[in-house]
Structure 1
């Protein structure tokens, strides 16, 4: 057995199940879950119609590289969305079966399991970054993003000894769970460091289309490359998905784009790994990437929910509107695990303790005394959940 498997941490939702194993939600209130970042808005009807009309695709083996028409649709979307002068669909784009497996797979491609390689990750973070690193045999170096730094990472504090060992740096922008964005200044710094120390920037951008101001779209890594004159995208990769953008998490459809040399090696790896997107999923994905109206409607739904929920919660807890993504990351007046357990018992609302999404480094866990709330349910349920959380906070404040 792979010895690294023993080093994997329990997944956050496994920890949550253990935390709640000896208690039950309030019996007279329907449970509302704000834990999992699984979109609940309706999938576009035209995508479902396309899937149904192209089921004959299951009779064919899909190409690992994907159909040329899909790669072209993705490249065109990237050029439009991020104002790119060029992106070659033949060499700089690979469709993937969702970003989860692709983020894991790129780590196996880039890391020398027999070396002294190191991965830099934000903290808190999406658990795949850590798990992929552990199973690749790399060391992990976590960079805290907490309230003291307005949930931004100070990359300039990282010593050269760390950069020298780094082979892969994960950027999550918009960030899960904080909702913060990586600036052009930070990307400029990271691109220069990547050139100097020969590591790869891996930008997880799967929340890039959930934002709140149409005039302020989140900056992407390839867009930053364009602005900085880094036109070959050397050492830079972006990962995108239709899951959040188009409410299609079950379609398992995304892409990787950027450095052609890295993608050539990544395609070879995937030829053996065997994760190829089904043909009818590819056909439906083309339509999804070519349509923006359903994405705008999706954003408008999130805007309404965030305004309503924040208006309810702001008077009783420190809470701020994220720059993007669909999470709230408020601080709690009590221990985050206690907050989660008591809220579950008293109000039948389920949130995720922040410590489960982060690691303790030098005695400090940046997720402590935070909870993650995913505003993915319908507006009515999100408002009801917020009202219950407010009541819970007021009731428990009185008893302290």
Structure 2
């Protein structure tokens, strides 16, 4: 057995299931789940129609590299969305079967050249970052992203000794769970460090298309363009249709950036065997070529956030994120205790924030927070917010 398997941590939802053993929700209220970041909005019909009309593609083995038509559609979308002068569909784009597996696989591809390597990750974080680093034989180094720094990472506090050991830096922007966005100033600093110390910046941008007031978040390749790094050296972005287009079951995304990194990644994936089915590729082309459904999706999220925050802002420390579909309120009590009590009294399920972080120097920056995914229908999100407000008021837990 791989000796690193035993070092993997339980997944947050496994821990939540164990936490709730012996506890039951209020039987007078239907349970509302705000835990998993799985979009519940309708998938775009034009994409479903393309999928249904492309099923004859199952009679062919798909290539690992993907069809040129898909890579070209992705190139067109990426250049438009991030104002890029160029992005070569032959060498700088690789379709993947969802970014979850791709984030894991890129770590296995790129880690191992340095002795005693580090994978550097935000904290809290998407747990794939940690598991991928562990199974690649790397040590994890966590950078706090908590209320002390307004949920931003202070990259300039990281020592050159850490950067020298770093082989891969995960950046999640918009951030899961806080919704913060990495700035151009931070990207300039990180790109300079990546060049100086030869590591790769892996930008998880899966939430980039859920934003408010037409303020589209900055992307890593967009930052490269503005900073003159037009070959995207040391930089890769990971994008997905799951959140953008409400297509989590399609398992469709892409990696783009430095061609010198994508070449060995393609070789790795050829052996790994993750090739996107032809009919999924055809559906993905339709999705990347259409912005109308994406704009409509943003409008729905904007309404939900405005409605929910009108209810919750007077009674708890919570604010609209810069982007994404999570609320990340700060509590005045233990997050596990809050989760259990809210479940039992109000039949609302949220995720303890400590499950998304790790304790470093005696502090877990996810503690005393909970993550609320506003992915359900607006009426359910509003009902959940009202129950949370009443729960806080009844138990005198308001912390404004």
1:100-150 per-position Cα deviation (integer Å, ceiling 9, x unaligned): 000000000001188311011000000000000000000000000111100
**Which residue of the partner structure matches residue 330 of structure 1?**
329
Q: State how far apart, in whole Å, the 1-side matches of 2:346 and 2:158 are.
A: 43
The SS at the match of 1:397 is coil
The SS at the match of 2:396 is helix
**Which residue of the partner structure matches residue 165 of structure 1?**
165
Change (3 A) 1:399 1:368: closer
Residue 244 (structure 1) aligned with residue 243 (structure 2)? yes
1:333-367 per-position Cα deviation (integer Å, ceiling 9, x unaligned): 21100000000000000000000000000000000
Spell out the pairing of 1:348-363 with structure 2 (5 A cutoff).
Answer: 348-363=347-362
**Which residue of the partner structure matches residue 274 of structure 1?**
273
TM-score (norm 2): 0.99
C-alpha contact (below 8 Å) 2:334/2:367 kept by paired residues: yes
Q: State how far apart, in whole Å, the 1-side matches of 2:338 and 2:207 are.
A: 27
C-alpha contact (below 8 Å) 2:332/2:397 kept by paired residues: no
Q: How many residues align?
A: 399
Q: State how far apart, in whole Å, the 2-side matches of 1:239 and 1:86 are.
A: 17
Q: State how far apart, in whole Å, the 2-side matches of 1:377 and 1:225 are.
A: 35
**Which residue of the partner structure matches residue 95 of structure 2?**
95
**Which residue of the partner structure matches residue 205 of structure 1?**
205
Q: State how far apart, in whole Å, the 2-side matches of 1:312 and 1:231 are.
A: 45
C-alpha contact (below 8 Å) 1:113/1:136 kept by paired residues: no
Q: State how far apart, in whole Å, the 1-side matches of 2:144 and 2:371 are.
A: 16
C-alpha contact (below 8 Å) 1:118/1:141 kept by paired residues: yes
**Which residue of the partner structure matches residue 260 of structure 1?**
259
Ranges in structure 1 where 5+ consecutive residues have no aligned partner: none
Residue 68 (structure 1) aligned with residue 53 (structure 2)? no
Q: State how far apart, in whole Å, the 2-side matches of 1:105 and 1:271 are.
A: 11
Residue 121 (structure 1) aligned with residue 121 (structure 2)? yes
Over aligned residues, Cα RMSD in angstroms?
1.2
C-alpha contact (below 8 Å) 1:113/1:138 kept by paired residues: no
1:35-54 per-position Cα deviation (integer Å, ceiling 9, x unaligned): 00000000000111111111
**Which residue of the partner structure matches residue 134 of structure 2?**
134
Shift of 1:332: 1.2
Q: State how far apart, in whole Å, the 2-side matches of 1:383 and 1:26 are.
A: 18
The SS at the match of 1:240 is strand
**Which residue of the partner structure matches residue 346 of structure 2?**
347
C-alpha contact (below 8 Å) 1:239/1:257 kept by paired residues: yes
Structure 1 stretches of at least 4 aligned residues deviating more than 2 Å after TM superposition: none
Spell out the pairing of 1:107-118 with structure 2 (5 A cutoff).
Answer: 107-112=107-112, 115-118=115-118
**Which residue of the partner structure matches residue 189 of structure 2?**
189
Change (3 A) 1:399 1:310: closer
Shift of 1:59: 1.0
Ranges in structure 2 where 5+ consecutive residues have no aligned partner: none
C-alpha contact (below 8 Å) 1:133/1:139 kept by paired residues: yes
1:314-348 per-position Cα deviation (integer Å, ceiling 9, x unaligned): 11101111000000000112110000000000000
The SS at the match of 1:3 is coil
